[in-house]
Amino acid sequence: MGEIISLKRESLLKYVLQLADNALILGQRLAELCGHGPILEQDIAITNISLDLIGEARILYQYAAEIEGNGKTEDDYPYKRDVRDWQNILLVELPNGHFGYTIMRQFMFDCYHYYHLKAMTNSGDERLAQIAAKTIKEATYHLKYSSEWVIRLGDGTQESHDKMQEALNDRIRFFDEAFIPSKIENDKSLNGVAVDCTKIKASAWAKFTEVCQTANLEIPEVKFPQKGGKDGVHTEHFGFILAELQFVQKSYPDSNW
């Protein structure tokens, strides 16, 4: 019995980290735009979203530290794990590119994130349900924000339309990974706790398609969705994110001020 409980704890820990990693890596990517946004108002808007996501990651890492015990803290996960330990989807680690790429990546993530949180408010794990209820307010705004920009640019000038279409064509193959369950999401011990991501796919895709249609964007067919992030197999960009994120910790381990 003790072993079953500890197995379940291990699965829950892994699952919570997967959720946190998505939020943290996208937050980190968006933070790169701080001071570099296309205009002042969007600079602030994007860093707001970045902070929302980092905030969400923090509460999840804090929860992970509680589950794991052993004196772990929320900082151990972002600063002391190497590439293969991270379980975020590939989409969130892709570079910002031009504003069209940033917005398209955000929009895809928001379509997933919003419906995922909505389902998570019914999680059998009370803590996860509470976290979802708190963060879905932010995610609702993110989805509104990115949808509006996709429509505005997609249905804007010829140049803005072409750039959005370019971003969509290049990024669409990274969208479906969010809805392909990883081993941990399929773990029987997390039944009723983990969100069944196959079940939110239809709603997320419906929103995605509706906005793309309004934006006059054509959704290309994807033969081979890119995946691997959830299992720790990342793109070549990921090491560079960690290099920047973990630089201080690596140069001055456990320093305080």
Point out which residues bind another protein (CB under 8 A): 38-42, 44-45, 48, 141, 144-145, 148, 152
Residues contacting residue 233 through CB under 8 Å, at least 6 positions apart: 84
d(CA 240, CA 257): 26
* Minimum distance of another protein from residue 187's CB (angstroms): 39
Shortest reach from residue 37's CB to another protein, in Å: 11
User: What stretches of the chain show up as alpha helix (H) in DSSP?
Assistant: 2-31, 40-68, 76-79, 99-120, 126-154, 158-171, 183-186, 197-214, 238-245, 247-251
Output 3 or 41, the one with its CB closest to another protein.
Answer: 41
Place of tokens 């992970």: 64
Q: Whole-number minimum distance, CB 154 to another protein, in Å?
A: 14
How far apart are CB 148 and another protein at their closest, in Å? 7
At its nearest, how many Å lie between another protein and the CB of residue 211? 15
Q: Which long-range contacts (CB under 8 A, 24 or more apart) does 70-79 make?
A: 77/17, 77/20, 78/24, 78/245, 78/246, 79/245, 79/246, 79/249
DSSP string, 30-57: HHTTTTT-SSHHHHHHHHHHHHHHHHHH
CB nearer another protein, residue 45 or residue 200: 45
Could you give the dihedral angle defined by the CA atoms of residues 114, 116, 119 and 123, in that order, rounded to the nearest 10 degrees?
-130
Q: How far is the CB of 145 from another protein (least distance, A)?
A: 6
